[in-house]
Amino acid sequence: MTAPRPSVAIDLTIPFHDLDPMNIVWHGNYARYFELARTALFQSIDYDIPQMRESGYAWPVIELNVRYSRPLNYQQRIQVHATLVEWRNRLKVQYEIRDAVSGTRLTRGHTVQVAVDRASGEMCFVSPPILFEKLGLPCDD
């Protein structure tokens, strides 16, 4: 049986200050949109930054990938979808940005995070049991 993949979608409206000189969203802002959705995703499983810190682990992003299909424009309403697709040895979150009105896919990407033991500073090669607990999964799933 396949474990459920936690997923969320957030709604955003593109502000003027996110635009570049070409009047479209500057490419670096996409990471922030992903971060907002990833935060909502982790909050949905009760494992956001405060809970991570309390559990003794940090989860730095070690990889970011973005595929820009269509530009984002001022005042455009978008939905940013975040889905947790890997969790055994690392966290991999996939993203899709869609136009909120038409549903057209505009951007997709992913981030990869690894667990780091805060006390030792050592990277964990297997996700810690607290993550499986938060996902409602046995550690051997």
* DSSP calls for 35-82: HHHHHHHHHHTT-SHHHHHHHTEE--EEEEEEEE-S--BTT-EEEEEE
> What's the pLDDT at 140?
66
**Dist. CA 99–CA 77, nearest whole Å:** 6
Confidence of residue 1 (pLDDT cuts 50, 70, 90): very low
Q: Tokens 């000189």 appear where?
A: 21
Q: Where are the domains of the chain?
A: 7-135
Confidence of residue 4 (pLDDT cuts 50, 70, 90): confident
For 24-68, write each residue's pLDDT tens digit: 999 999 999 999 999 999 999 999 999 999 999 999 999 999 999
Bridge partners, 98 (sequence order): 79, 105
> What's the pLDDT at 138?
87
Decide if domain 7-135 falls under CATH 3.10.129.10. Answer: yes
* Mean of all residue pLDDT scores within the chain: 95
**Dist. CA 34–CA 24, nearest whole Å:** 17
> What's the pLDDT at 22?
94
Question: Are 84 and 41 a contacting pair, CB within 8 Å?
Answer: yes
